[in-house]
Structure 1
């Protein structure tokens, strides 16, 4: 009887994994062609801060793990070829009327790695940890070693980031349960595809966040105690993410989700606290270690001290700032979350964003309806997911208000929708979905709910096909026609 009970417990788990693996394979079928198209068709450095990310990755590839501060800015010496190559394509950024020309392409192909270094400024990426650029830096190191052109090296770096990020994301989808469909939908958005196919630390950070959320999701759903090895790997992943993106520190609160079983003894809460404290301390140390060397003071009218002084004298302004910010930029946050490509100068047609809203509505409904082989979610675990999302969101807005927004400004400046891609799958964990009942004795209401969920899933799975068609049209018109 015990053996039979074990089989009855294992078999639903096996079915759930089989379904999520199919979803992961479907994601690969969408992500790899779309990412390769963006990699080849998008001119170099036509994503936010692309040149500075490339400079930082080049610095790491040359052995410069720490950036340097100089003359009120920061960066460091990098090969002349990187700077010369980036300068060719700079006129395209922020200018929708400027297209890629044959002359740009020809000049770009001629530039080689010179072996001579020149001081370059990249203050907004100089503070990032070197390991966030590991795939791209490795590709750049190989390109320089084999005397490849800078353009070929740049493409190789983008390809390394694309393959690594897509592989990690597919793994996350296959691992997940309640969040699998949300991970698929968010990872298939054009904004995510843009980040994954560029030289950016987001190609490492975002899929690692997906993987952490998926692991917590599966562990909560299965109710199996987390092994010490898994705890160490989870701590390592959280440490990498939080040290690279400190506002994502809310992810550390996942450890306090009651459904995440740490220990059956009375010391479980103590182990959670120790894990949280040690991971947070390690991440803070790494973030300070890398950012201190490359930190550049913010220029007026921005001032960290001035902003803190302003808020201390008018703390109730925070409520007004939140409301004013959402009124001013709410539409932009949604559009840039779905995808405003280039340097925020390549928008899709309005109808595409409307379809995206419908897709997200279908995703929310599918997440709220019972799925096959799924346990009922507990209020405490849903609350933990909401807390993680809320804390990280507050830290994103708070950090940009303090460091990027002019003192006393009525709205928060600098926030973009892409900052929330890594956190959005948490909302699927917050949905109050009940457990699915067996296939026998289904009521009419139960069959209707199952049919509605199936229709919603089909809508979500079909949306990336629409995205690919719109993506090709957008890139061609923005950069070539």
Structure 2
């Protein structure tokens, strides 16, 4: 098979081609919450990882030119018929950044995401500041570095996955996934990390070697903890580590010790997040998880009613509702992509030992609980 037809290489080619297309054609700040991601990424690029408070308000101190940049496009979100002209965008290509002319701007979701998923965007913005480029380049270099980081993570995941590489390929290349990767959203790095973690778990579940290198186990657990650090509810993925057989640790005692340490660190961070002040944005799903634990029957009743009303919207959104989730793709494309995903999931051959039905059921159960907590 030619190398470009292998799933990893094919993904990388398509991700860069279509990702760069999204990067260039998506109007400024027309991905969900992109103005706020600009503020947060700029803070991180200057070494400001915590929150900034002024008169009791949470927000950011950023160049006034950046505030003017995203403010110029706030008439567009949720109005899919409104178009942005090339002239509107390019006029900011000449606007100096003026990094010392700062202003405070308040926004309640200043710490909705931790700092680390903004590192690629911050690196791009640091380059723009170092080269003294106009404010325009904060957005586009931030987007570019975010896209490259996401593509590298998913490429590594597809290469590492012992089974289902084409399914990972299709999941990563949904239109909404490409849009998020080509924006300033921290979801790009978080999603890429989730792909890489799942590939690592697949290797630990299915790899033929009895005892992998210690770095493999430690690295996979570190990825799991890093994913928990990105969003509270993602900590539930720790339950997937239960499927790792004891032979991978060398003994049952080592397995018990390793999993106890991992679960302890994971749970400690989740509890810390819940006690971080009661801000739902900072909890990242903590409120919903508490509701699930306190009254699961009512929670699932509400969930079923929500699915009845919004189920079709969620199915469409999974493949792609673009812009601020206000730009619909053709219904035929949505249906085709879902059929393609289901077909590949059912028909893709699994070399060697595949997942057992009980393992698949456990993975599906963890996924459903995690989705409920995020939802």
TM-score (norm 1): 0.70
C-alpha deviation, 1:95, in angstroms: 1.1
2:167 to 163, 176, 182: 182
Identify the residue that residue 315 of structure 2 maps to in structure 1.
Answer: 334
C-alpha deviation, 1:197, in angstroms: 0.6
The correspondence of residues 46-125 of structure 1 with structure 2, limited to 5 A, is 46-70=30-54, 73-114=57-98, 115-125=100-110
The Cα offsets for residues 414-441 of structure 1, whole Å up to 9 and x where unpaired, read as xxxxxxxxxxxxxxxxxxxxxxxxxxxx
Matched, 1:167 2:181: no
Identify the residue that residue 386 of structure 1 maps to in structure 2.
Answer: 364
Identify the residue that residue 395 of structure 1 maps to in structure 2.
Answer: 373
CA distance in 2 between counterparts of 1:342 and 1:209 reads 23
Deviates more, 1:166-175 or 1:249-258: 249-258
Count how many residue pairs are aligned between Structure 1 and Structure 2. Answer: 367
CA distance in 2 between counterparts of 1:315 and 1:186 reads 30
The Cα offsets for residues 267-302 of structure 1, whole Å up to 9 and x where unpaired, read as 04422432323430564478579x65xx7578xxxx
Query: Which one has a bigger Cα radius of gyration?
Result: 1
Identify the residue that residue 194 of structure 1 maps to in structure 2.
Answer: 179
CA distance in 1 between counterparts of 2:238 and 2:207 reads 21
1:238 to 210, 224, 241: 224
Any conservation in 2 of the 1:255–1:276 contact (CA below 8 Å)? Answer: no
Identify the residue that residue 133 of structure 1 maps to in structure 2.
Answer: 118
Q: Secondary structure at the match of 2:60?
A: strand
CA distance in 1 between counterparts of 2:189 and 2:57 reads 26
C-alpha deviation, 1:142, in angstroms: 1.7
Any conservation in 2 of the 1:191–1:337 contact (CA below 8 Å)? Answer: yes
Identify the residue that residue 377 of structure 1 maps to in structure 2.
Answer: 355
Any conservation in 2 of the 1:311–1:317 contact (CA below 8 Å)? Answer: no
Any conservation in 2 of the 1:139–1:157 contact (CA below 8 Å)? Answer: yes
Any conservation in 1 of the 2:164–2:345 contact (CA below 8 Å)? Answer: no
CA distance in 2 between counterparts of 1:297 and 1:68 reads 18
1:24 to 8, 12, 26: 8
1:264 to 221, 235, 250: 250
Matched, 1:219 2:204: yes
CA distance in 1 between counterparts of 2:253 and 2:144 reads 46
Identify the residue that residue 346 of structure 1 maps to in structure 2.
Answer: 327
C-alpha deviation, 1:228, in angstroms: 2.2
Q: Secondary structure at the match of 1:54?
A: helix
C-alpha deviation, 1:75, in angstroms: 1.6
Q: Secondary structure at the match of 2:185?
A: coil
Identify the residue that residue 204 of structure 1 maps to in structure 2.
Answer: 189
CA distance in 2 between counterparts of 1:72 and 1:221 reads 52
Any conservation in 2 of the 1:67–1:127 contact (CA below 8 Å)? Answer: no
TM-score (norm 2): 0.88
Any conservation in 2 of the 1:177–1:217 contact (CA below 8 Å)? Answer: yes
CA distance in 1 between counterparts of 2:134 and 2:95 reads 6
Q: Secondary structure at the match of 1:192?
A: helix
Instruction: Structure 1: give runs of 5+ residues left out of the alignment.
Output: 1-14, 299-303, 398-481
CA distance in 1 between counterparts of 2:361 and 2:212 reads 20
Instruction: Structure 2: give runs of 5+ residues left out of the alignment.
Output: 282-286
Deviates more, 1:54-63 or 1:316-325: 316-325
C-alpha deviation, 1:258, in angstroms: 4.1
Cα RMSD, aligned residues only: 2.8
Q: Secondary structure at the match of 1:100?
A: coil
CA distance in 1 between counterparts of 2:152 and 2:341 reads 24
C-alpha deviation, 1:32, in angstroms: 0.6
CA distance in 2 between counterparts of 1:276 and 1:384 reads 19
